[in-house]
């Protein structure tokens, strides 16, 4: 018989930090940052998300429920379960974005992965921090009360760089 084996869950005081910059507002590109943030938090890693440019839509109350997915310009888009492409020339057809968005949302829901606002709720519940970009807020004429209530502040790029000292960084 082998002596006791106890999994190494790491020390309670890991100082690993992850900063994720979310710069895209398309439905498909909102998810990578959220999935990685959620995974990092589940591993005990302190995680900060910074929303900038198009990524601002993910935290803007009036837009966060309506992120869309367009197959236009995405040559890796296939019909689910097939290798077949839809010709790019057909992608700008009326209704194509709505259909593709609906299909993608269904595929994501089938995996029991939450919609973007719910996912951010879960990330905050797990201890994640949300920050908004000052320049994007100014360009879009948005203020704190236009954003999710759990956004901790609108800050400049240099503030974000300063507060994420020592963190690993992802730009999405």
Angle between helices 27-42 and 116-125 (to 10 degrees): 20
Q: How far is the CB of 40 from another protein (least distance, A)?
A: 11
Q: How far is the CB of 89 from another protein (least distance, A)?
A: 34
Toward another protein, which CB reaches closer, 84 or 111? 111
Which residues are paired to 50 by β-bridges? Answer: 21, 131
Choice between 3 and 80, CB closer to another protein: 3
Instruction: Provide, rounded to whole angstroms, the least separation between the CB of residue 1 and another protein.
Output: 6
Q: List contacts with another protein (CB under 8 A).
A: 1-10, 12, 14, 35, 38-39, 42-44, 111-114, 119, 122, 125-127
Which residue blocks in the chain are alpha helix, DSSP H? Answer: 27-42, 96-110, 116-125, 134-140, 157-163
Name the β-bridge partners of 17.
46
Closer to another protein by Cβ: residue 124 or 133: 124
If you ran DSSP here, which 8-state letter would residue 57 be given? G
Nearer to another protein, 121 or 146 (CB): 121
Please give the Cα distance from 35 to 149 (Å, whole number). Answer: 21
């Amino acid at each position: 018989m082998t002596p006791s084996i106890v999994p190494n869950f790491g020390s309670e005081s890991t100082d690993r930090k992850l900063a994720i910059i979310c710069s895209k507002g398309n439905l498909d590109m909102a998810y990578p940052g959220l999935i990685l943030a959620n995974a990092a938090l589940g591993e005990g890693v302190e995680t900060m998300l910074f929303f900038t440019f198009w990524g601002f839509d993910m935290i803007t109350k009036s837009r966060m429920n309506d992120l869309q997915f367009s197959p236009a310009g995405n040559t890796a888009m296939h019909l689910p379960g097939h290798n077949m492409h839809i010709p790019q020339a057909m992608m700008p057809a009326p209704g194509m974005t709505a259909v593709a968005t609906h299909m993608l949302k269904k595929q994501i829901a089938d995996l029991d992965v939450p919609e973007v606002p719910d996912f951010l709720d879960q990330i905050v519940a797990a201890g994640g921090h949300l920050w908004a970009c000052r320049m994007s807020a100014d360009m879009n004429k948005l203020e704190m009360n236009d954003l999710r209530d759990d956004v901790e502040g609108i800050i400049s790029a240099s503030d974000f760089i300063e507060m994420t000292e020592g963190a690993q960084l992802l730009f999405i």
